Structure 1
Amino acid sequence: MDYIGLYYVHCWDGQVPVSETVQEMNGLIKKGKIRHWGIRLQRLGACEDIYMGSRK
């Protein structure tokens, strides 16, 4: 297998912007390194930011 099926983000460090994390995860998908990525439950505002960032 040459890819990870699910890359799971367990927590945010508070230093890296959510948008940067979303861009990197989407970049890994485009490169074929991962198939999907997911998050642990976050506060609603962070989830909205993640969703909106992933739609770009």
Structure 2
Amino acid sequence: MSLSSHLQELRKKHQNLSDAVEAAQRSPATDDLEIAHLKKQKLQLKEEISRLSVG
């Protein structure tokens, strides 16, 4: 897998997590810990995207 396609895949996963976080925040049944976990995954992806884009 080339770097650009890997970055594109990471960005797609990041967007999917963004959508999941928004949906979870709108749902009263969603646990705060679940939302925090999704946000942590999203942040880790963002950091990896940044690291790969700069390097």
Q: TM-score, normalised by structure 2?
A: 0.38
Structure with greater proportional strand content: 1
Structure with greater proportional helix content: 2
Pair member with larger Rg: 2
